[in-house]
Amino acid sequence: MNLQRWGLLLLLGWTRLAWAAPDKVDAFLRAEMARNHIPGAAVAVVRDGKVIKAAAYGTANLEWNAPASTRTAFQIASGTKMFTAVLLMDFVGQGKLRLEDRVCQYISDCPAAWKDITLRHLASHTSGMKPGPVNADVSSVAVAIEAAKKVPLASAPGEKAAYGSDDFVLLTQVLEKVGGAPYPQLLRDRVFTPLGMTNSGFDRAILTEDDIVLTSDVVPERSATYQWRTDHQQQYWFVYPHYTLAAGGLFSSVTDMSRFVAALMSDKFLSADLRSAMWTPPTLNDGKPSGFAVGWTVGRYRGRPEVGHSGGPALSDTVYYPDDKLAVVVLTNQRKLVPNLAHGVANFYLSPPAFLSDPGITDATPERTQALKQLLSKLLAGKADARHFAGTAKDALADLNEWLPIQLGALPPLSRLILLEDSADHLTRTYRAIHGKDQTLRWFVRFDEAGQIAEVEPRDE
């Protein structure tokens, strides 16, 4: 065989290998699926309104060995709130509602305690209504509101954000009154149909009065949901009572979710002013911004503004970076996760943050920092020893050892720990942890007088 033929074969072989090789996102998600016992997952990456990555992995239904696809409808749980927010802002754009409207304009026999609660308060979880579990025995939105009227406020409107209250039940009443139709129909007519979202909807699951039979509508191409139990998978059903659907319960595919986030990257669906209002957190009574905007969480990641929402706690994980016009959606069918997969994917598309070169402040107790660095590595491995902790941190150590490896276990090894803030007594400190070359976290740490950790919390930055 001549050299030209060998060269041609080598070139063809290399081309096939390069074409077949998975990209970094595929490798990352497959590794996380193996690490966290995730049967099936799907991802979409959208930049400037165009889908630049869409893929599915694994199995949507283990009993039938049905493969996941980009059309598989996953349970997105509290990710539904983003859609409720868009529906709300659509009505605001039409002049039918204002975010500063008082809820009592739309609720009959409104309690006096609710007189200062606005629609913005409801959508940002700052109404002051008492958080509480859902009740499957409540038959309707109207019945749920009558029950809520009898519960005193937990705090003054605007005082603090409290996730998981009756806020979105009241919003449902407002939206249905203004829109003239049930919430699922409003969402279908005003969001899903205009955007071509054909794999999105509710299953209307309900338990019978005796709580022994579960019924639901058929959801085409629906994924089952699972929860890992020590050494095996168990199927897990989220049953959202019908009065809570504006807060959670939607099924959607990454194909549909990509259409949703793409629509929010231009003025075609909501104007720039409406999007800005939706993604601006209210100022609390103490002058600090809330961590919630109108139906979306708000924060910063890799030094840039981030909005989004997760659900389940992480059956769905959606993040959007307005400055970059980049969105990432990751859907899975494994309940026991924390919302970190979308960040892991976003890391491949976002430039490193400028603060990587920040040297921090002078460390008056470097030995404490060095000991903390070693301890953080053990925490991320789920092997931290109780003798290093005190107070609330010691009480929460079992949860920390369980959840931090799930949340942060995919990070590269910790390379540097930089002191950013320090109290006068050196007991309350904020650090930047740099993992690998450019992945970062902030750690808030409080020590007791003996040098043990009394409080510890990781935060995105």
User: Could you give the 3-state DSSP secondary structure of residue 346?
Assistant: helix
Of 346, 371, 394, which residue sits at a domain end? 346
C-alpha torsion sign, points 51, 197, 176, 250: negative
Q: Are residues 384 and 425 in the same domain?
A: yes
Q: Are residues 260 and 309 in the same domain?
A: yes
Of 150, 179, 208, which residue sits at a domain end? 179
Structure tokens that stand for 127 in this block: 């109404």
Of 127, 148, 179, which residue sits at a domain end? 179
Q: Are residues 276 and 304 in the same domain?
A: yes
Asked if the structure places residue 187 within a domain, the reply is: no
> CB of 127 within 8 A of CB of 106?
no
Pure H helices in 124-246: 141-149, 167-179, 183-187, 193-195
Reference 69, options 253, 337, 330, 311; nearest CA is: 253
Q: Are residues 369 and 322 in the same domain?
A: no
CATH number, domain of 390, equals: 3.10.450
> CB of 91 within 8 A of CB of 75?
no
Asked if the structure places residue 103 within a domain, the reply is: yes
Q: Are residues 92 and 215 in the same domain?
A: no
CA distances from 261 to 50, 228, 303, 449 (A): 10, 30, 21, 49
CA distance 351 to 424: 35
What is the domain extent for residue 381? 355-459
Reference 333, options 438, 230, 221; nearest CA is: 221
User: Could you give the 3-state DSSP secondary structure of residue 319?
Assistant: strand
Q: N- to C-terminal Cα distance for the chain?
A: 59
CA distance 326 to 396: 36
Asked if the structure places residue 19 within a domain, the reply is: no
Q: Are residues 332 and 362 in the same domain?
A: no
Q: Are residues 306 and 414 in the same domain?
A: no
Beta-carbon count within 10 A of 25 CB: 20
CA distances from 96 to 66, 129, 170, 178 (A): 45, 25, 17, 7
Q: Are residues 255 and 299 in the same domain?
A: yes
pTM assigned to the model? 0.92
Looking at residue 157, its pLDDT comes to 97
Q: Are residues 321 and 234 in the same domain?
A: yes
CATH number, domain of 219, equals: 3.40.710.10
Looking at residue 144, its pLDDT comes to 93
CA distances from 112 to 130, 150, 440 (A): 16, 11, 47
C-beta pairs of 381-387 under 8 Å, 24+ apart in sequence: 381/405, 381/409
Pure H helices in 109-207: 119-123, 141-149, 167-179, 183-187, 193-195
Asked if the structure places residue 54 within a domain, the reply is: yes
Number of structural domains, the chain?
Answer: 3
Q: Are residues 307 and 382 in the same domain?
A: no
Asked if the structure places residue 14 within a domain, the reply is: no
Asked if the structure places residue 255 within a domain, the reply is: yes
Identify residue 325 by its one-letter amino acid code. Answer: K
Asked if the structure places residue 4 within a domain, the reply is: no
Per-10-residue mean pLDDT for the chain, 461 residues long? 37 35 88 97 98 98 98 97 98 98 96 97 96 81 93 95 90 97 97 97 86 90 95 92 94 98 95 98 96 96 96 95 98 94 96 94 95 93 94 94 92 95 97 95 95 94 92
Looking at residue 7, its pLDDT comes to 40
Asked if the structure places residue 191 within a domain, the reply is: no
Identify residue 113 by its one-letter amino acid code. Answer: A
Q: Are residues 204 and 72 in the same domain?
A: yes
Q: Are residues 121 and 42 in the same domain?
A: no
CA distance 61 to 65: 6
Structure tokens that stand for 163 in this block: 């996730």
Looking at residue 293, its pLDDT comes to 98
CA distance 379 to 396: 12
